[in-house]
Amino acid sequence: MEAFEIVVIGIGLAMDAFAVSVCKGLSMKSIRLKKMLIIALYFGLFQALMPVVGYFLGSTFSVFVQKVDHWIAFLLLALIGSNMIKESFDDELEKRNDKVDVKTMLLLAIATSIDALAVGITFAFFEVHLLLAITIIGIITFVLSILGVLLGNRFGDFFQNKAELTGGIILILIGLKILLEHLAHI
């Protein structure tokens, strides 16, 4: 997997964190640098760490699934992407509060990074420089989370659903690319 593909995956994965960051920014009367950095750090770290967990889970079972790894990657990315697309049409807004306490942020960081765990599983089936991948994913999520807080504070709900829709489409297209590349070599 090339760096460009990892960047695209990183952007797709960061969309949930971006959407929640928009909600966090929307709930803040004024931007506080400390709160914005806490939000970005939680999301960036969890988006970077979950693929590692997924990678080791996938590596453990890769011997058993090598003949169907491309289908697994496609299905996982398609399911995650489809769920993100579905959520983008959900009219229910995320619960809005500007709390950044450990409990709140831990729950939000885990919830927004479950898809990164699944992507980590797919990394185990392909040649991926794991350290580079998690660094790129973490940095992208960190930056987009800061941007989300700023935009949320400034523009509100306009970006949230569009971000989740875009992220879902990106993940489905990456999964389709993996599947089609493998099928082309058969």
Q: How would you class 1 by CB atoms within 10 Å of its CB: exposed for 0-12, middle for 13-18, buried for 19 or more? A: middle
Residues with pLDDT less than 50, the chain:
93
Q: Which CATH architecture has domain 3-184?
A: Up-down Bundle (1.20)
Directed axis angle between helix 33-65 and helix 102-123, to 10°? 30
Task: Determine the pLDDT at residue 91.
Answer: 62
Task: Determine the pLDDT at residue 10.
Answer: 94
Task: Give the C-alpha separation, 174 to 147, whole Å.
Answer: 24
Task: Determine the pLDDT at residue 181.
Answer: 79
Q: Which helix (DSSP H) or strand (DSSP E) does residue 7 occupy?
A: helix 3-27
Task: Determine the pLDDT at residue 133.
Answer: 95
Residue pointed to by tokens 């769920």? 83
C-beta atoms surrounding 102 within 10 Å: 9
Task: Determine the pLDDT at residue 186.
Answer: 67
> Cβ(117)–Cβ(54) under 8 Å?
yes
> Cβ(179)–Cβ(78) under 8 Å?
no
Largest separation between any pair of C-alpha atoms in the chain: 57
In this prediction the pTM is 0.73
Task: Determine the pLDDT at residue 24.
Answer: 82
Task: Give the C-alpha separation, 106 to 63, whole Å.
Answer: 33
